[in-house]
Amino acid sequence: MTYTANSSRYSYNNFKRCGDSGLDLPQITLGLWHNFGGNKLISESKKMIFRAFDRGVTHFDLANNYGPPYGSAESNFGKLMATDLKKYRDELIISTKAGYDMWPGPYGEWGSKKYLTASLDQSLKRLKIDYVDIFYSHRFDPNTPLEETADALHRAVQQGKALYIGISSYSSNQTIKMNKLLKERGIKCLIHQPSYSMINRWIEKDLLKTLSKLNLGCIVFSPLAQGMLSEKYLNKIPANSRAKKNSSLDPKMITKNYKNKIINLKKIAKNRNQTISQMALAWVLRHKQVTSALIGARTLKQLDECLDSLNNLKFSKNELNSIDKYAKEENINLWATSSKN
Ligand SMILES: NC(=O)c1ccc[n+]([C@@H]2O[C@H](COP(=O)([O-])OP(=O)(O)OC[C@H]3O[C@@H](n4cnc5c(N)ncnc54)[C@H](OP(=O)(O)O)[C@@H]3O)[C@@H](O)[C@H]2O)c1
C-alpha cells in the first residue's frame, strides 16, 4: 500500500529559520549515514522515514557515499522519492554531499570541480530527483584552491541542480573565506554542518560566533555522539549497537571515565523528565545559531524518543552549570582534520 502522510504533520511547530535565509528547517533532521544502505531498505528504516515525516521532519540528510555500499542510501531513498514520497517532493528538504572517498582515482574525492560536478550528477540519478535542496562540500580540501570548490558549488546552483549550498566541517577561517567566495559569485552559503555534542564541543571556540556574524544556519551532526549520549553503554556493549559493530564508533571509547559522565548526566536529565538523549538534543539546540540537530536512528523507538526531546527545550542556568561539569571532551571528533585548517 502506498504511504499517505499524517495530516497533522505540521502541528508540531518545530521549525526554525536557517540563518538569514528564507528557509525554515525542522529542529530535528534525520540523517541516513547508518542503517539506510544495502540493496534495499529494511522495513524498520523505511518506517523511520515515514514516521519522521509524519512528525514534521521535512529534512533528510544524505551523502554520495552513505551505505554501505557507497551510494546505496541515496538509491534506497530515491526509490521512495519515485513512489511513496513523490507527491511530497515540494514539502521535503533533501541534502547530499561530496568530499569523501566515493570512487577510485584522483577524481573520486576531495574538492575539485571535476569531482563535485560528477558526484552531484550521480547523486541526482540515484535520488531520482531533478535537484537537491542543499548540496554540501563535505570537507575542506587543503590541496585544491577554495575558488575552484566555490566555482563547482556555484555551478550546481546555476544549473538548477542545487537550491542552496552548504559546507561541512570547515574551520571558522575557511568558513569566512568560502562565504566570501560564494558571495563574490552571487550566491549565498546557507548553512554549516559541523559535528557537535556534549562531549565534542569544538564549535564553541569560534565557529558559532562566526556563523552568527555571517548569518549562516547551522545543523549539527552526531548530537548523540553516535549513541554515546544515552544509557545504552552503562552496562555491557549491547548487540546491534554501533560500538559493537565497531564501524565508526570504536568500543575503546567506552571507558570508565566516560561512563561516570553519563551516570551524572542521567541524574540531571531525570530531574528534567528527560532521557540523556533527549537532554543532549535539547542542549545542542539551546544556541540560537543552531537551526537543527541532525540525528541518526536505528529503531522507531529511538526516533520517537529523540523527537520527544522537543517537548522540553528550556534550561535553567543551574541546569546548564551542572551539565558543564560533565559535558567534557571525549576525543571522539573523527572529522577534526577537516577543520584544522
Ligand atoms: N557532515 C559529516 O561529515 C557527517 C558525519 C557524520 C554524520 N553526518 C550526518 O549526521 C547524521 C547523524 O549522525 P549520527 O548517526 O552519528 O548521529 P547521532 O544521533 O549522534 O547517533 C545516532 C545513533 O545513536 C543511537 N541512538 C539514536 N537515538 C537513540 C536513543 N533515543 N537512545 C539511544 N540511542 C540512540 C543509535 O545508535 P545504535 O545503533 O548504537 O543504537 C543511532 O544510530 C548522519 O546520518 C549524517 O546524515 C554528517
Each residue's pLDDT tens digit, 255-302: 999 999 999 999 999 999 999 999 999 999 999 999 999 999 999 999
Q: Tell me, in angstroms, the distance from the centre of ligand 1 to residue 60's CA.
A: 13
Which amino acid, 98? A
Does the Cβ of 32 fall within 6 Å of ligand 1? yes
- Residue 274 pLDDT: 98
Burial (0-12, 13-18, 19+ Cβ within 10 Å), 148: middle
Q: How many CA atoms lie within 13 A of 198 on its CB side?
A: 28
Domains and CATH numbers, the chain: 15-228+284-310 (3.20.20.100)
- Residue 4 pLDDT: 98
φ/ψ of residue 263, rounded to 5: -60, -40
- Tell me the average confidence (pLDDT) per consecutive run of 10 residues in the chain, 341 residues long: 95 94 98 97 97 98 98 98 98 98 98 98 98 98 98 98 98 98 98 98 98 98 98 95 92 96 98 98 98 98 98 98 97 95 89
Does the Cβ of 338 fall within 6 Å of ligand 1? no
Could you check whether the bond before residue 145 is cis, i.e. omega within 30 degrees of 0? Answer: no
* Nearest-CA residue for atom 1 of ligand 1: 168
Does the Cβ of 61 fall within 6 Å of ligand 1? yes
- Residue 1 pLDDT: 81
Q: Tell me, in angstroms, the distance from the centre of ligand 1 to residue 293's CA.
A: 10
Does the Cβ of 225 fall within 6 Å of ligand 1? yes
- Residue 246 pLDDT: 82
Does the Cβ of 230 fall within 6 Å of ligand 1? yes
Indicate which atom in ligand 1 lies nearest the CA of residue 33.
45
Q: Rounded to whole angstroms, how far apart are CA atoms 172 and 20?
A: 18
Q: Tell me, in angstroms, the distance from the centre of ligand 1 to residue 125's CA.
A: 26
Q: Tell me, in angstroms, the distance from the centre of ligand 1 to residue 262's CA.
A: 17
